[in-house]
Amino acid sequence: MFSDNPISDIAEGTTKGILDWSSEKIKIFIQKFKDKKLAFIQDNETIQIVKEQFNSGELNFYKNYIEDKEILFLVKLGLTLRKLEGNTSRKQNLRTKIFDRYEINGLHIAQFVENGILNRYTAILIDDLISIEDLKKKIESTLKNIEKHVLFVKMSDSERNVIENSRTIVFANSPNIFIISGISSAAEIIRKGEPTITQLFTDYNLEKISSGYKETLFYKRSLKF
């Protein structure tokens, strides 16, 4: 059966075709953009793992609180590092690529996520939640200024260095939450220095998360009357 208005039908069909074509082109463009952004990793298996993080529950949670796209991308890379646990060569390769592209700040943001520190940090903030906007602001501010809030201890650090660096960061920046983290032999260095550090930070309460190979100290500022 023929339409009463063939010109209108043609116009409608043409418009629909253009929209369908445009939608498909946009999808292809977005995919190419994502692939280009991941090209620096230069390892197809690792790139695939990064792509799998795009729709992970953890990332979807942080999409609500992190608006900065570069920071959110580093969160994805941190989740990927966690997924690569047990694959030493690929994990080290990704760490190196992150450092080369985003320098030490970017690597530390990724490690902050990888080691689950961001999850616990966020939970501490939620305990004293003022508003969603305040939570967003604190999470993004901490990630953008990671060196003012977190000390990542290396195996080459000494106990004395950890104590001095902790004191320097806290006294210079007065963070509401200060975190010290290390794995393997660095975790043992933290354990040895913890009593001295805790004595120094009289305005902070300590929360520890310990395992056999990992040590993380959360110093939370408290009101003293």
pLDDT in tens, 103-122: 999 999 999 999 999 999 99
* 3-state per-residue secondary structure call for the chain: CCCCCHHHHHHHHHHHHHHHHHHHHHHHHHHHHHHHHHHHHCCHHHHHHHHHHHHCHHHHHHHCCCCCHHHHHHHHHHHHHHHCCCCHHHHHHHHHHHHHHHHHHHHHHHHHHHCCHHHHHHHHHHHCCCCHHHHHHHHHHHHHCHHHCEEECCCCCCHHHHHHHHHHHHHHHCCCEEEEEEECHHHHHHHHHHHHHHHHCCCEEEEEEECCCEEEEEEEECCCC
Q: Where in the chain is the domain with CATH 3.30.110.20?
A: 149-225
pLDDT at 105: 95
149-225 belongs to which homologous superfamily? Alba-like domain (3.30.110.20)
Would the pTM count as exceeding 0.85? no
Look at residue 29 in the predicted model and tell me its pLDDT.
41
pLDDT tens profile 16-66: 655 555 555 544 444 444 567 888 888 899 899 899 888 889 999 999 999
> Averaged over 76-82, what is the pLDDT?
95
